[in-house]
């Protein structure tokens, strides 16, 4: 895994609005770094260009804003390139006395990974001199192979960089490479510059310090981007069991310093949280496994993992696309891992009630009431065989909190949902194994999210192993058992 530098375009400077150019046409998958330095009486943050993400912004240097003195702001935006991307435009308010803005775009490429991860820290040097040193205010996590990019925003536009550097306790960087230096000789002036280095040793969380030897005495601010190739990914493993279920797993979490994960199932643009997978603390873990046994049938869907890292930044990764298929309608209990093949024969009505009271006020009836209830229904389903009837009996006998999940063979929003079972009646046909079942139900919420879906049942193990010794011989850990497809 290697991050390589793809060059930078020329620095664009103006009093308030700039549109810097790329060094070359961006390629899909590259990471763009838009480094912006600015000075203004009100010290505003530059606007975020369309399609770009603010990595961080910091103002420093001390004193009052003036010609070659006072605070200057450094801001960095990032963007994963789509290929042939338009030049970005950023600005600060016009009309500020002495205002100045300068911007430069650099491009990075990666050889591996699932995407890009970055973290930001910044600091200032308020003591005028040629020995610049800015200890950042935030600690960053560092690992071998990380790419460090740091930039300067100096008050004196004439200040050059005879030497540049970065340090962090317990971290070794290779020789720093100066990338550019340019003067924003407009208004009160600003000097921008940047350098980069790779981490060659050390794995820790620590504050970086940006240093430089300057050609002119001045003050200013510095910002650091720690960049790495992403390792975290999410994928699902459909199990060959009935009812269908998927083992959803995010991997590479520790490598990307991920501390919290949420899973969603996405159908079209609609996102539905996966059971027991919202804001899960994964500090120190490299893998998070959850079972999804509530997916729709007959339509494509994918899984989205929302990852939060130790710096509070949020990332999204997406799985492949799946379609779960069945040959019937399904009644199931995802928490217990049980289900039955059925066919909906009749659902004549959905009846809703509203508890009300009417008052005669001066000959006029006034009615007040509670909100309208969920629907109550009697649903008739059928089973074709004794085995399927027994499976339905098992589901209904053991319903978690009395709630079942009903899904059509091809998802139908009028049907798919959770129902609380009030009563049921079986009407067998004594000539064949066919039976009809009248289920008296009321619309319900899903089971509490703290209840995880069953990834395997004891019956799954019993069907495949006769002794615990046999089971132990095949699986080293409980996680290995959870990941196994007992239906295969």
Angle subtended at Cα 35 by Cα 2 and Cα 212, rounded to the nearest 5 degrees? 80
Average the pLDDT over 111-137 and give the result: 96
What whole-number distance in Å separates Cα of residue 433 and Cα of residue 456?
A: 29
Average the pLDDT over 243-269 and give the result: 96
70-104 pLDDT tens trace:
999 999 999 999 999 999 999 999 989 999 999 99
435-472 pLDDT tens trace:
999 999 999 999 999 999 886 555 566 666 677 777 77
Helix (H) or strand (E) holding 148: strand 147-154
Is residue 321 over pLDDT 90? Answer: yes
Least confidently predicted of 43-52, 110-119, 359-368: 359-368
Q: What is the pLDDT of residue 475?
A: 72
Q: What is the pLDDT of residue 468?
A: 77
pLDDT > 70: percent of the chain? 95
CB-count exposure of residue 242 (10 Å: 0-12, 13-18, 19+): middle
Q: What is the pLDDT of residue 133?
A: 98
| Residue 263, helix vs strand vs coil | strand
Task: Look up residue 13 and give its two tokens.
Answer: 């400077």
Average the pLDDT over 352-362 and give the result: 90
Q: Provide the strand spans (E) within 19-139.
A: 31-39, 53-60, 72-80, 90-91, 100-110, 116-135
What whole-number distance in Å separates Cα of residue 467 and Cα of residue 325?
A: 33
Q: What is the pLDDT of residue 482?
A: 61
pLDDT category of residue 484 using cuts at 50, 70 and 90: low
pLDDT > 90: percent of the chain? 88
**Residues present in the chain in total:** 488
Is residue 485 over pLDDT 60? Answer: no
DSSP secondary structure letter of residue 279:
S
Least confidently predicted of 18-22, 445-449, 457-461, 476-480: 457-461
Q: What is the mean pLDDT of the chain?
A: 94
What Cα–Cα distance (Å) separates residue 169 from each residue in 173, 202, 255, 370? 11, 9, 20, 64
Task: Look up residue 267 and give its two tokens.
Answer: 């159908």
């Amino acid at each position: 895994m290697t991050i390589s530098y793809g060059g930078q375009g020329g620095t664009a400077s103006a009093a308030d609005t700039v549109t810097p150019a790329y060094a070359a046409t961006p390629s899909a998958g590259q990471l763009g770094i838009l480094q912006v330095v600015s000075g203004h009486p009100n010290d505003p943050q530059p606007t975020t260009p369309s399609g770009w993400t603010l990595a961080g912004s910091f103002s420093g240097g001390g004193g009052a804003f003036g010609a070659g003195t006072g605070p200057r702001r450094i801001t960095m935006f990032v963007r994963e390139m789509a290929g042939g991307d338009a030049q970005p435009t950023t600005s600060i308010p016009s009309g500020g006395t002495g205002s100045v803005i300068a911007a430069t775009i650099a491009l990075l490429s990666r050889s591996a990974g699932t995407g890009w991860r970055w973290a930001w820290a910044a600091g200032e040097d308020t003591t005028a001199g040629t020995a610049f040193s800015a200890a950042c205010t935030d600690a960053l996590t560092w690992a071998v192979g990380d790419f460090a990019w740091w930039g300067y925003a100096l008050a004196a536009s004439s200040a050059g960089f005879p030497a540049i550097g970065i340090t962090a306790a317990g971290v070794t960087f290779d020789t720093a490479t100066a990338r550019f230096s340019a003067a924003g000789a407009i208004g009160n002036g600003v000097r921008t510059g940047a350098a980069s280095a790779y981490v060659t040793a050390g794995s820790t969380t620590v504050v970086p310090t940006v240093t430089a030897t300057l050609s002119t005495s001045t003050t200013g601010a510095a910002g650091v981007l720690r960049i790495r190739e992403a390792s975290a990914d999410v994928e699902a493993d459909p199990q060959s069991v009935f009812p269908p279920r998927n083992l959803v797993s995010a991997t590479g979490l520790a490598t990307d310093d991920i501390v919290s994960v949420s899973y969603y199932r996405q159908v079209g643009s609609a996102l539905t949280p996966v059971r027991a997978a919202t804001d899960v603390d994964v500090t120190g873990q490299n893998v998070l496994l959850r079972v999804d046994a509530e997916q729709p049938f007959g339509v494509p869907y994918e899984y989205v993992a929302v990852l939060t890292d130790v710096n509070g930044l949020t990332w999204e990764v997406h799985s492949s696309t799946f379609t779960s298929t069945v040959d019937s309608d399904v009644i199931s209990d995802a928490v217990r891992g049980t289900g039955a093949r059925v066919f909906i024969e009749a659902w004549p009505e959905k009846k809703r009630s509203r508890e009300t009271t009417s008052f005669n006020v001066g000959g006029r009836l006034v009615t007040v009431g509670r909100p309208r209830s969920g629907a109550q229904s009697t649903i008739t389903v059928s089973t074709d065989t004794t085995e399927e009837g027994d499976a339905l009996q098992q589901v209904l006998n053991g319903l978690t909190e009395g709630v079942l999940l009903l899904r059509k063979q091809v998802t139908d929003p009028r049907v798919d949902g959770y129902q609380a079972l009030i009563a049921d009646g079986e009407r067998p046909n004594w000539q064949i194994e066919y039976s009809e079942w009248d289920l008296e139900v009321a619309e319900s919420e899903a089971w509490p999210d703290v209840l995880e879906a069953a990834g395997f049942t004891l019956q799954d193990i019993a069907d495949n192993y006769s002794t615990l010794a046999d089971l132990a011989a095949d699986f080293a850990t409980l996680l290995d058992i959870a990941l196994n497809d007992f239906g295969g």
